[in-house]
Structure 1
Amino acid sequence: MTSLRTRHLTLLFLLLFSPLFLPYTQADEYTFASIEFEPFGYVEDGAIKGIIPDIARAIADEANIQIQITLLPYSRVVNYIKNGNADFAIFSRNSDNDDEVDYISLLFIQNVILLTKKGNPLLSHEEIYDPDKVASIGYLRGTNFCPEILLDDRLLTYELKDFTQGLKMLNSNRISAFLTIDNTALYESKKLGLQSSFEFPGLSLKTIEAWLQVPKQGPTDNPLPIGKIRSAAEKLTTEGKVDKILQQYLKTN
């Protein structure tokens, strides 16, 4: 006859090791830093939306990891990655960051342009230095799309807080050119009803590459599975899913 003590020990064993009573372990979660300006990253009805968050979620789903998305101004996204405060991010590749970040996967390419008002097209790079054509150039705060323009002492530049301010100032002749990204400027100008006010597609200056990037000195207690992240990003790019997300937001029709 089984003793009462033995029965109690058996019951205790079953309680401790039954799946119903095992401690719940949450899957590892990683922090993703996203640029905060529409359409790349923004909040709508309390939800984080945009090109970058959608790409990040697609990568996370493909890699089978959980992420928490943080929206930040462009300059803070860069610093978050460089300082290891975020596990990964997507932003333009810049040689200034080479010592502090690793470039995991190229996701998309965009054109940097100088946009002018209708009736004042820029037909060559030489015209940038013609004061009758370009008296002043506006650029977005925290960006460094074209340092050769911003650091040129021959050019008068103004820092702007966002695309909306830049386009409105260009439309009201408070600046004569706007240093910007082609598709994003077109997107914002359509929202403002100003698409026909500007000389699209603008004067092309260079292309910039948006890369998935991670800090060189990432956390050691919960390291990001970089191999899985890279494979997921490359698969999404190859299958055209990244382009599909871009077109969803940057429709030109």
Structure 2
Amino acid sequence: MLDDDGYFGESIAADYDDSAADMFRPGAVDPAVDLLAELAGGGRALEFGVGTGRIALPLARRGVPVHGIDMSQAMVARLRAKPGGDAVGVTIGDFATSTVPGTFAVAYLVFNTINNLTTQDAQVACFRNAAAHLDPGGRFVVEVGVPDLRRLPPGQNAVPFHISSTRWAFDTFDVATQAMSSHYVTIVDGRAEHWSLPFRYVWPAELDLMAQLAGLRLRDRWEGWTRAPFTGESTRHVSVWEKPAG
């Protein structure tokens, strides 16, 4: 998991909300909060990778007690500076292994954050950590993209996802290891600045096996937070696994 000395330190945290502005729109936030509040019921919620509080803060405003785990002190500082930031408890640490007191009705990972764990072992550990924090009958929710490998012809390992006169962005894939990186090139005063983020992409069926290893079972899988059906053409999914009540 990346820390303050890496990609989610001050240089990224300083303008993270602006760079991901589309994900802060009510149309992106409200359906996620609606579903998570429903799953939490009257219980507590645990966010893995709480970041600057995009989901945790509005969920807490719904009356759901929220605790977050995040390795980046710089990102959490932005959360703390926002209205209501003191209402969300935060543990600084790797969400694959860090523990917090008590149990929760729902644990969740949003916006591809499971991919920030760059090994299969770490992703498996994350599922086990979630299961250990859940009440009997609790749910673990993951929002993540479906790997876009169908756009890779033989011999190509890069897929662009944004091209403008001032910014280029593309993903690179290693299909042998499931390693990927997102690359960003920004033109500032006629000069190009480049930075990248490492990830590990993961398939829906692979996530189901990780859940099984953690003692969880798949309850629902949708294309997004509004519960549209998941199909072979879906580019992402929201999946819900349940901890047995017994």
TM-score by length of 1: 0.31
Structure having the larger proportion of residues in strand = 2
Larger radius of gyration: 1
